């Protein structure tokens, strides 16, 4: 399979690409950026909270897992809600949830309060992701689908990277609470902009009766040469037999999709296990090895920056070449660089270079996998398909940091913990490679 043009869910117009589509992708990228900042923030502040509250680093395993549990709940519940109520309303709801509860996190005084608020914040974070992917995908021209979705979603690791760059001086000058104040204020400030400028998915509206006037207003901006009647008929024909309002998840296994869905879930589970193990524990593990906190945070910021570069490069390659060969190769490379991180020792330059390259493979390939998954399902179940893949992946993302904390408490060395992450990266590579046959 060369490229992604033959997958279901072609864009509104296979030719047109202009300011309207760019604006949608930019707004969704801002949401992804704030999502990345808030998701990563707890890992950056954990070493300082541990010092202030006189805790062992292993105590943060449940805290990391709690935030990821919220992400899982949000991905499962709010993705299916978006296929029923619309992409835009669920994006707005998700942004409001993670903004409000991030602000409240700045006032916590106990681990129990921190755990509860990380779950609630995570619900908003998890609900936003599948819907910004689905919305960007549905407005992207067919030949640029993977490129536009991956460039948009690069906002997530970019937000994590920016968080790493501003967190260290922010903590040093004002304390860790300011990280959460900033992480809550920014999404709430963006909320009215999204409400004003972000359109609902025209493809979603086409599956609802009586929405022709709203669709016409959107098509005048997106593809004015398209007739509303032809567009609605095309979307309904593509989604015929896929509308399952009572049990949308069952449609992921219908019409020959079962094998693909299982392999996609496997790849998401394994990759997010590795990714969240690294982004949550890398600062603490490297600090335990004697590196300064600033260097430990920088390595994780570069891991995320590598994901930004990887997402852009891999997205363009996916549109032009076999997406499964490209993604499986990226996962194999990530496994190699995880080993380099573990064995780099005091060689800071090698460590930082390996962290960047590892992020290219782990985070970059995950962004590419998001694009492939968005294109694998028809409009009626697209948010459900992406959301449940992310939700299953979130189970892995919970297990990664939680198991890491448990093994650290048992006395495992930082090198041993890092080397264990090689195995799931290899399984992700094999699962993506097997997708070529589905």
Highest mean pLDDT among 169-173, 174-178, 182-186, 253-257: 182-186
Domain of 209: which CATH number?
A: 1.20.1250.20
Residue 398 structure tokens: 């919970």
13 assigned to some structural domain: no
Q: What pLDDT shows up at residue 268?
A: 94
pLDDT for 9 beyond 50: no
pLDDT for 254 beyond 50: yes
406 assigned to some structural domain: yes
10 assigned to some structural domain: no
CA–CA gap between residue 106 and residue 179 (Å, rounded): 8
Structure-token match 């694998």, residue found: 376
CA–CA gap between residue 239 and residue 381 (Å, rounded): 9
Q: What is the pLDDT of residues 396-435, one digit of tens each?
A: 878 887 788 788 788 888 788 888 889 999 999 999 999 8
pLDDT for 148 beyond 80: yes
pLDDT for 243 beyond 60: no
pLDDT for 60 beyond 90: no
- Contact criterion met (CB below 8 Å) for 244 and 409: no
Checking phi first, is residue 10 left (phi over 0); if not, alpha (psi -120 to 50) or beta?
beta
**Domain limits at 112?**
19-437
Nearest to 359 by CA among 295, 317, 407, 311: 311
Residue 240: helix, strand or coil by DSSP? coil
Residue 338 structure tokens: 């995880």
1 assigned to some structural domain: no
Q: What pLDDT shows up at residue 334?
A: 93
For all residues of the chain together, what is the average pLDDT?
84
CA–CA gap between residue 257 and residue 272 (Å, rounded): 22
Give 77's contacts (C-beta < 8 A, 6+ positions apart): 123, 127
Q: What is the pLDDT of residues 223-233, one digit of tens each?
A: 777 788 888 88
Q: What pLDDT shows up at residue 247?
A: 59
- Contact criterion met (CB below 8 Å) for 360 and 307: yes
Higher pLDDT, 312 or 112: 112
Nearest to 16 by CA among 147, 139, 134: 139
DSSP string, 369-408: HHHHHHTTS-GGGHHHHHHHHHHHHHHHHHHHHHHHHHHH
Higher pLDDT, 292 or 412: 412
pLDDT for 278 beyond 80: yes
Q: What pLDDT shows up at residue 240?
A: 64
**Would you give the end-to-end CA distance of the chain in angstroms?**
11
Higher pLDDT, 2 or 25: 25
| Percent share of the chain, pLDDT over 70 | 93
30 assigned to some structural domain: yes
Residue 426, φ and ψ in degrees, nearest 5: -70, -40
- Where is average pLDDT lowest: 159-163, 246-250, 304-308, 339-343? 246-250
DSSP string, 262-317: HHHHHHHHHHHHHHHHHHHHHHHHHHHTT--HHHHHHHHHHHHHHHHHHHHHHHHH
pLDDT for 318 beyond 70: yes
How many residues comprise the chain? Answer: 438
Structural domains counted in the chain: 1
pTM for this prediction: 0.73
Q: With b meaning 16 or more CB within 10 Å and e meaning fewer, what string describes 308-328?
A: bbbbbbbbbbbbeeebbebbb
- Where is average pLDDT lowest: 87-96, 266-275, 317-326, 394-403? 394-403
242 assigned to some structural domain: yes
Q: With b meaning 16 or more CB within 10 Å and e meaning fewer, what string describes 191-223?
A: beebeeebbbbbbbbbbeeebeebbeebbeebb
Angle between helices 258-288 and 19-52 (to 10 degrees): 40
- Contact criterion met (CB below 8 Å) for 257 and 389: no
5 assigned to some structural domain: no
- Contact criterion met (CB below 8 Å) for 12 and 204: no
Q: What pLDDT shows up at residue 252?
A: 83
Q: Give pairs for 255-260: CB < 8 Å, separation 24+.
A: 257/376, 257/377, 259/438, 260/376, 260/435, 260/438
- Contact criterion met (CB below 8 Å) for 80 and 133: no
- Where is average pLDDT lowest: 114-118, 233-237, 362-366? 233-237
Range 170-197 average pLDDT: 91
Give 71's contacts (C-beta < 8 A, 6+ positions apart): 39, 122, 123, 125, 126, 390, 394, 397
Angle between helices 348-374 and 145-153 (to 10 degrees): 130
Q: What pLDDT shows up at residue 8?
A: 45
12 assigned to some structural domain: no
- Contact criterion met (CB below 8 Å) for 236 and 243: no
- Contact criterion met (CB below 8 Å) for 429 and 335: yes
DSSP string, 160-189: HHHHHHHHHHHHHHH-THHHHHHHHHHHHH
pLDDT for 340 beyond 70: yes
DSSP string, 128-146: HHHHHHHHHHHHS-GGGHH
Nearest to 34 by CA among 98, 92, 79: 98
CA–CA gap between residue 254 and residue 250 (Å, rounded): 7
């Amino acid at each position: 399979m060369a490229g992604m043009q033959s997958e279901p869910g072609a864009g509104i117009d296979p030719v047109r690409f202009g300011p309207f589509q760019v604006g949608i992708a930019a707004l969704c990228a801002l949401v992804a950026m704030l999502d990345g900042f808030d998701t990563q923030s707890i890992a950056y502040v954990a070493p300082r909270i541990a010092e202030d509250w006189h805790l062992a680093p292993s105590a943060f395993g449940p805290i990391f897992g709690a935030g990821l549990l919220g992400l899982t709940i949000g991905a499962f519940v709010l993705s299916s809600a978006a296929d029923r109520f619309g992409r835009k309303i669920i994006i707005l709801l998700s942004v409001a949830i993670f903004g409000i509860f991030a602000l409240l996190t700045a006032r916590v005084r106990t681990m129990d309060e921190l755990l509860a608020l990380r779950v609630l914040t995570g619900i908003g974070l998890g609900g936003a992701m599948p819907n910004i992917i689905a919305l960007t995908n549905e407005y992207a021209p067919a030949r640029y689908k993977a490129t536009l979705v991956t460039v948009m979603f690069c906002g997530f690791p970019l937000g994590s990277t920016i968080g790493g760059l501003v967190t260290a001086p922010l903590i040093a000058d004002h304390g860790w609470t300011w990280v959460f104040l900033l992480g809550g204020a920014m999404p709430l400030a963006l909320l009215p902009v999204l409400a004003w400028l972000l359109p609902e998915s025209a493809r979603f509206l086409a599956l609802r009766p009586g929405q022709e006037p709203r669709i016409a207003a959107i098509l005048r901006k997106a593809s004015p040469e398209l007739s509303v009647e032809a567009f609605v008929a095309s979307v309904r024909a593509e989604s015929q037999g896929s509308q399952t309002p009572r049990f949308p998840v069952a449609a992921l296994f219908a019409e020959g999709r079962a094998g693909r869905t299982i392999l996609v879930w496997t790849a998401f589970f394994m990759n997010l296990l590795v990714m969240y193990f690294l982004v949550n524990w890398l600062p603490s593990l490297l600090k335990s090895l004697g590196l300064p906190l600033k260097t430990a945070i920088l390595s994780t910021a570069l891991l995320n920056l590598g994901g930004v570069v990887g997402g852009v490069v891999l997205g363009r390659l996916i549109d032009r070449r076999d997406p499964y060969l490209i993604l499986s190769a990226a996962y194999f490379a990530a496994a190699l660089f995880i080993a380099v991180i573990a064995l780099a020792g005091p060689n800071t330059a090698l460590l930082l270079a390996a962290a960047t390259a590892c992020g290219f493979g782990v985070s970059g390939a995950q962004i590419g996998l998001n694009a492939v998954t968005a294109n694998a399902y028809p409009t009626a179940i697209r948010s459900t398909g992406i959301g449940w893949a992310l939700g299953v992946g979130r189970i892995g993302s919970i297990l990664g940091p939680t198991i890491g904390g448990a093994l650290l408490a048992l006395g495992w060395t930082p090198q041993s913990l890092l080397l264990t992450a090689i195995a799931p990266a290899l399984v992700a590579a094999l699962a993506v490679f097997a997708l070529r046959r589905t």
